[in-house]
Amino acid sequence: GEDVEQSLFLSVREGDSSVINCTYTDSSSTYLYWYKQEPGAGLQLLTYIFSNMDMKQDQRLTVLLNKKDKHLSLRIADTQTGDSAIYFCAVAGMDSSYKLIFGSGTRLLVRP
Amino acid sequence: DAEITQSPRHKITETGRQVTLACHQTWNHNNMFWYRQDLGHGLRLIHYSYGVQDTNKGEVSDGYSVSRSNTEDLPLTLESAASSQTSVYFCASSESGTANEQFFGPGTRLTVL
């Protein structure tokens, strides 16, 4: 079945850029997603990218998609302490475009 | 404002008891999902529904059941709670025919003793 992999932890200094990476095994997904989870809360959609795009920019967020390598990344520019959270990559399952397969999440720690 | 709510937010129960977790959304979304979140596993899909009277098993459905009698609610039932079902449970909903953005509830932390 579909597998989505992420590194577990990333630590950056406030003001630096953060890059969170995700790889997936196979996908018929039309969209690929990045979600953010703050402590004690549910997941919130940050951004998504259409599968025929290579890049999407949304304010401080840049999503890069390399379909050949099955690699998705999220870049956060000028990272702030409020960006400290867990970030999940998600793709649609092979058998349905409505079911999502989530990575295990990357915990981002922003140091002052 | 439209929203998705879960209740209770915290629950402690004993092994063998039946437990029902509630999920209610006011977006009138067709699709609803239940996930569990465990350290090191991310979110795993338990059950999902694409409309009233429709239910489907996810990757970790054993020991769980759902029913969909109306658009707004998808309750999750643990028939006989086990310690392995101690977890944080999230409900989500989405609308068909869009970018499939899933909106998540705040979660229910369940402890089975």
B34: how many CB neighbours lie within 10 A of its CB?
26
Give pLDDT tens digits for B79-111. Answer: 999 999 999 999 999 987 666 789 999 999 999
Q: Which residues of B touch A4 (CB under 8 A)?
A: 42
Give pLDDT tens digits for A13-38. Answer: 999 999 999 999 866 777 899 999 99
Tens-of-pLDDT digits for all 113 residues of chain B?
A: 779 999 999 999 999 999 999 999 999 999 999 999 998 778 999 999 999 999 999 989 999 999 999 999 999 999 999 999 999 999 999 987 666 789 999 999 999 99
Determine, for residues B99 and A31 on separate chains, whether the beta-carbon distance falls below 8 Å. yes
Say if CB B55 and CB B49 are below 8 A apart: yes
pLDDT for A95:
64
Q: Is the bond leading into A39 cis (omega within 30 degrees of zero)?
A: no
Of A4, A44, A98, the CB nearest to B96: A98
Residue A39 at interface with chain B, using a CB cutoff of 8 Å: no
Residue A49 at interface with chain B, using a CB cutoff of 8 Å: no
Query: Which ranges of chain A does DSSP label H, i.e. alpha helix?
Result: none
Say if CB A44 and CB B104 are below 8 A apart: yes
pLDDT for B92:
95
Backbone angles phi, psi at B85, to 5 degrees: -95, 5
pLDDT for A96:
64
- The contacts of residue A39 (CB under 8 Å, 6+ apart) are A85
A27: how many CB neighbours lie within 10 A of its CB?
19
What chain A residue is nearest to B91 in terms of C-alpha separation? A42
Of B40, B48, B99, the CB nearest to A99: B48
Q: B16 CA to chain A: closest CA distance, Å?
A: 27
| Calpha distance A24→A20 (Å, rounded) | 14
**How far, in Å, are B59, B74, B94 from residue A100 at the CA level?**
11, 18, 11
pLDDT for A100:
87
- Residues of chain A whose pLDDT is less than 70? 1, 26-27, 93-97
